[in-house]
Each structure stands twice: as C-alpha cells, then as structure tokens.
Amino acid sequence: MPTTELYPSPESGAAQSIATGIYRELETMIIEGALAPGDRINEKSFADQRGISRGPIREACRRLEEAGLVEFKVNRGFFVRVLDLREVLEIYDVRAALFAHAGRILARRITGDQLAELTALHEEMEAAVEAREADSFYTLNRRFHSSIMAFTRNGHLADIYEGLDRELHIWRKRALILDGNVRASSAEHGLILEVLRNGNPSRIAQVLRDHSLAGRNRLLRTMPEQVAKLQTDWDDD
C-alpha cells in the first residue's frame, strides 16, 4: 500500500491525516475480519510496517475505542471488541423499539424544516448509492437516524439511541458494505419520509421499527456460519 496517499510525511503537517488513514485501515480490517474479535492491535508492528511513529497508531486506536470497535486493557493495549451475536440481536430489538417510540412522537411533533432536512439527507444518500460510495452512504445514514432521534426533543431517548448506535457501529457498517444492499436501505428511508409526511402514528412507528429490523436481517445475511452456530446454541438451551 503506497504510503504517499494514506500516510503523508510528518513534514507535510498532516499528522491528523496519518491517524485518519490508520483509523480507516483498521476499521476496514475489523469489518472484513482480518482483525477478529479479541485480536490485539500490535501498535509497534503497524508503525514499523508503515515507517511511522506509534503516535498516530495510538490516536487511531483511541478513535476506534470511541466508536465502540476496540477496547483498551491496562498494561496490555488495544483489542478488537468482542460482542456476542446474541447481544447484537438483543440490541437491534431494543433499537427497533426506540425507533417505533420515536415515530409516535414525531407524528405530532415533526416540523416542515425537519422534514426538509431529512429529505436533503435522503437525496445525498441516493446520490451516494448511484456513485457506489458505500462509506459516504453509511455516514449519511447515521446522520439520518440520529436526526430522527434528535427531532423527538427527548434527550434521554436520543442518548440511549446514540449509545446503542456506537455499540452496533461495526455491525451496521458490515451489514451495509458486505451485504451490498445500500439501495434497499435508501428506499426504506424514502418510505420513512413518506409516512412522516402523512402523520399516522401507528404507521410511522411500524415503518421505523421495520427499517431497524431490516438492518438486522441484512447483517445476518453476511454471517451465515455465526447464525447457524447461534441457532444450534438456542436449540441446546
């Protein structure tokens, strides 16, 4: 991998860009399974291979920790976070319930300006789909969902959602990128906008809940072996 693009020299004054490049590389390795849950991130090895100091590696790892992808263990370093699939599915269920509740609130509270903001985000996502820019789509997707929660004006609801979103970050991005079905996700956003404009509380709640569960199903399609093992574990319970 050429160092001139992802890892500019310190003399260029782009130390933050170096950390960003490392962050993106490590994130991709985690998503694609090159770094598995529980693996230790060898800062020295990463730095030596790329001819850079360990500082940007640590900065990238701290950002990954904030994103919920890795965890720091005292005197041991950074490790890819282990999150059991059963836990992930439980979080998706809770997230779906939060979305449904947000929908009922927004049925009576959402404003024209807020709908316009969501519509603009949806249009940007559609452009990202056409350009096959999955990373851009994912970033906009998170903003779309966070905006829905913020528009409820229920701070506790939004805070709980954001905490769950951080825990699911790696799984949601994996689902969108590896399943390759960003177009279906974007179409679901279009339906969300349609029902928000119509204002039926029960219908809005259902569509938002279904959208969250559709994301869960996209994830499950990317990991058939883990799903099969989980089903076996359930059968043994």
pLDDT per position as a tens digit, 151-167: 999 999 999 998 888 77
Q: Average the pLDDT over 12-30 and give the result.
A: 80
**Residues 138, 211 share a domain:** yes
Query: Which among 80, 101, 128 is the end of a domain?
Result: 80
User: Same structural domain for residues 114 and 20?
Assistant: no
Same domain, 23 and 119: no
Tokens representing residue 40 in the block: 């230790």
Q: 8 and 107: one domain?
A: no
Pair 110, 217 in one domain: yes
Q: Report the candidate in 174, 209, 219, 186 with the shortest Cα–Cα distance to residue 95.
A: 209
Q: Are residues 201 and 166 in the same domain?
A: yes
Q: 73 lies in which domain range?
A: 3-80
CATH number of the domain within which 103 lies: 1.20.120.530
- 202, pLDDT greater than 60: yes
CB within 8 Å of 14: residues ≥ 6 apart: 8
CATH number of domain containing 16: 1.10.10.10
Q: What tokens appear for 198 in the block?
A: 């119509």
The single-letter DSSP state of residue 73 is E
- Number of CB atoms found within 10 A of residue 66's CB: 11
- Are residues 90 and 72 both part of a single domain? no
Which range has the worst mean pLDDT, 38-42, 66-70, 124-128, 154-158?
66-70
The domain tally of the chain equals 2
Same domain? For 70 and 93 the reply is no
Does 170 lie in the same domain as 55? no
Structure confidence at residue 119 (pLDDT): 98
Whether residues 125 and 97 share a domain: the answer is yes
Domain's final residue, options 53, 80, 107: 80
**pTM to 2 decimals?**
0.71
Lookup: tokens for 67:
């994103």
Residue 146 pLDDT level (bands cut at 50, 70, 90) = very high
- Mean pLDDT value of segment 87-107: 94
Mean pLDDT of 106-131: 96
Give alpha helix (H) positions in the chain. 3-6, 15-32, 43-50, 55-66, 85-109, 112-130, 134-151, 155-179, 182-198, 201-221, 224-236
Residues 226 and 164 in one domain: yes
- How high is the pLDDT of residue 88? 87
pLDDT value at residue 218: 87
Domain boundary among 34, 53, 80: 80
Residues 61 and 92 in one domain: no
Average pLDDT, the chain: 86
Residue 14's pLDDT band (boundaries 50, 70, 90)? low
